[in-house]
Amino acid sequence: MSDLFGDPPSAAPMARGTGAGALAGPVPADDPSRPLPDRLRPRDLAEVVGQDHLLGSDGPLRRMLDSGRLGSVVFWGPPGCGKTTIARLLADHVDLRFEPLSAVFSGVADLRKVFQGARERRAREGRGTLLFVDEIHRFNRAQQDGFLPYVVGGTVVIVGATTENPSFELNGALLSRMRVLVLRRLDDEALDRLLARAEALTDNVLPLTDEGRVALRAMADGDGRFLLTLAETLFALQEAAGEGGMAPLDTEALARAVQRRAPAYDKDREEHYNLISALHKSLRGSDTDAALYWLARMLDGGEDPAYILRRLTRFAVEDVGLADPGAAGQAIACWEIYDRLGSPEGDLALAHLVIYLGTAPKSNGAYTAFKGAMKAARRTGSLMPPAHILNAPTKLMKDLGYGAGYQYDHDAPDGFSGQDYFPEGMVRQRFYDPPDRGFEREIRKRLAYWDKLRSTRGRPDDP
């Protein structure tokens, strides 16, 4: 295997130790000038909030630590959920040298230096190294391949951190040697614990009403670091107000006092596809309220309305289909309205369309029929249409039987001749089987009526 960063390492066991002891309560503020999130950074794994599924008694990280051996892992989770902190605490717990790198600011030379130092440290001290790679997905495929000999040989334990789906961003060879652990956004209970620690550390109470406290958690959107940054801003405002203090802030006053966090949404990444999938499936399940919520999330995150309109139009054709033939027209009309009005006025037209599609009868009958017809077309190849429906513009073609026996349906009883229009040698197939709901209930009646006529006037092999 090629090594981008130096000579291939030799395998060696990982050193481990007893690690740091637990500290009770929040971390003392050695330097009040340090940012509040840094001052409250946990000093022991027991202080980490919101990740009990990993660090609890049955969690995978806890089982690794109890076994005395820490393997290379990838932490996948949103910003501010504790990826860096947990990596540092893991290194302390098993007595590994913590070496942090960011894929944004580091290159091959930085990695080569870390790997060389890890080899020398192991030879000199018998101590292993935990390499923490923030935003590991930003390393290209060749650089990711370069990690492999060091992971396999035990020179370093790698803990990668990413906000992106590792399935898409990490190559298979590296991914197969690292366990992916999903970190969760912090829930309200975890955020409240952080706020309580902040108030205890500063010996102060946040100037918030109960409603304002709920709004503060919502602004943080599961990001503990951002929550503490907001809290620090509020403490500063309270201090600036002087002895008289400041009135507790409700939701509106809080919004004026601090900056709202932008929603976690990347229009080019997984969240983009997660939310459009949620919108599509909510509509398919006729859960109109949920669909409106996901529409609002996408618009609030800055999604291109043209993309939403394209997907809603596709839904009208694919999932509503002929159960409500007007759905496609509604989608196109909404598109035209949005093009004329733009945002925010046109956003209401999008909401109208979502409500229409969510409450419409659903059918994928036409979609399924077309897929079946395409499959049959590929299977049967170049079968010619039956001679009786071929045009015969020349004498030769007439002599060859083109058009012979064709029955003009308008002249037939009921306007239906019952002739077969499939290729000769191909048994009739039923591609379109409309469900008995919406407008397709009427279509189903028509097809049944024509089937009955065909059984007496057409070929007997109709299913």
CATH label of the domain that carries residue 312: 1.20.272.10
Q: Is residue 15 part of a domain?
A: no
pLDDT for the residue numbered 260: 63
Q: Is the pLDDT of residue 7 over 50?
A: no
Q: Is residue 29 part of a domain?
A: no
Q: Provide the number of structural domains found in the chain.
A: 4
Q: Is residue 26 part of a domain?
A: no
Give residue 123's pLDDT band: very low, low, confident or very high (50, 70, 90). Answer: confident
Side chain identity, residue 284:
R
Q: Are residues 159 and 68 in the same domain?
A: yes
Give residue for tokens 């299913």: 463
Q: Are residues 42 and 175 in the same domain?
A: yes
Q: Is residue 404 part of a domain?
A: yes
Going across the sheet that includes 179-182, the strands are 97-102, 129-134, 156-162, 73-76, 179-182
Name the phi and psi angles at 79, rounded to 5.
-60, 145
Structure tokens at 58: 């049955």
Q: Is residue 7 part of a domain?
A: no
Alpha helices in 74-107 (DSSP H): 83-93
Q: Taking residues 334-358, what's their average pLDDT?
A: 93
Q: Is residue 167 part of a domain?
A: yes
Name the phi and psi angles at 102, rounded to 5.
-115, 130
Q: Are residues 192 and 176 in the same domain?
A: no
Question: What's the chain's average pLDDT?
Answer: 84
Q: Is the pLDDT of residue 301 over 90?
A: no
What are the b/e assignments for 341-354, b being 16+ CB within 10 Å? eeeeebbebbbebb
The domain of 351 spans 270-359
Q: Are residues 57 and 159 in the same domain?
A: yes
Q: Residue 258's CB: how many other CB atoms inside 10 A?
A: 18
Q: Residue 136's CB: how many other CB atoms inside 10 A?
A: 28
Task: List the single range of 6-15, 160-169, 194-203, 360-369 with lowest mean pLDDT.
Answer: 6-15
Side chain identity, residue 290:
A
Find out whether 79 and 163 touch, Cβ atoms under 8 Å: yes
Give residue for tokens 């759905």: 327
DSSP 391: -
- This prediction has a pTM of 0.63
Q: Is residue 412 part of a domain?
A: yes
Q: Is the pLDDT of residue 10 over 50?
A: no
Q: Are residues 198 and 286 in the same domain?
A: no
Q: Are residues 82 and 160 in the same domain?
A: yes
Q: Is residue 262 part of a domain?
A: no
Q: Are residues 250 and 278 in the same domain?
A: no
Alpha helices in 154-287 (DSSP H): 166-169, 172-175, 188-202, 210-220, 224-240, 251-257, 270-284
